[in-house]
Amino acid sequence: MDILWAPWRMKYIEYAKIEQDSECFICKATNSNEDEKNLVVYKGESVIVLMNRYPYNTGHLLVAPTRHIPELKALTDKELCILLKTVKNSVEVIREALKPDGFNIGVNLGRVAGAGLESHVHIHVVPRWNGDTNFMPVIADAKVIPEALQDTYRRLVAHKDLYRNSENCELA
C-alpha cells in the first residue's frame, strides 16, 4: 500500500469537528483586522473575499456577504448585486494573478450539497487549468495543490485594486 503523506490535513479534520460549536470563520475574518492571517483578499462593507484554507485548487476563493445569513433568499437585492459583482471582480483578480484557463463558480446550500459551512452563504470561485485534473484524484483520491497558501495570497492581493467598484450597485 502506498501512503500519501499530508500532515496539513489534520488541521482541516480537527476544524471540521469543532466548526459546529465555534464562531463562523467568515464572520471571524470579517470582524478581524488580521487580513493576511485570515487570508482575506478583499473586505468591503457588505462583502468579503477570502481564500479557501482547504482549497480544491490553487487560488480557490470564497465570496460572502459580511452579514451572517444561511440562504440566498435572505439577501437584499443590493447585497445580491454586490455579491455577484464581487464574484465577477474575483474572476478578474484570479485571471490577472494566476492566469487560469477557466473557472468553476458555485454555491453549496446544505450539508448534502457539500456545504462545509451551512450557516453563512458563500460563493466558491475556483480557477481551473488545462491538465489540472490528472491521475492523482482518479487513482490516488488525492488532489495536489502546487503552491503554498501564503504565496498565492500575496499574488492575489497584489491585484485587489480590481475590487474597487464591487460595492457600487445601483438598483432601479
Q: For 16-28, write each residue's pLDDT tens digit.
A: 554 555 679 999 9
Q: Which of 120, 122, 124, 159 is catalytic?
A: 122
CATH number at residue 91: 3.30.428.10
Q: Whole domain around residue 124: which residue ranges?
A: 9-163
Q: Is residue 1 part of a domain?
A: no
pLDDT at 16 (0 to 100) = 53
Mean pLDDT (whole number) for 40-65: 94
Q: How far apart are CA 156 and CA 162, in angstroms?
A: 10
Q: Is residue 4 part of a domain?
A: no
pLDDT at 127 (0 to 100) = 95
Question: Among 113, 119, 104, which Cα is nearest to 55's?
Answer: 104
pLDDT band at 105; cut points 50, 70, 90: very high
Q: Is residue 170 part of a domain?
A: no
Q: Into how many domains does the chain fold?
A: 1
Q: Is 122 annotated in the active site?
A: yes
Average model confidence (pLDDT) for the chain?
Answer: 85
Mean pLDDT (whole number) for 55-79: 93
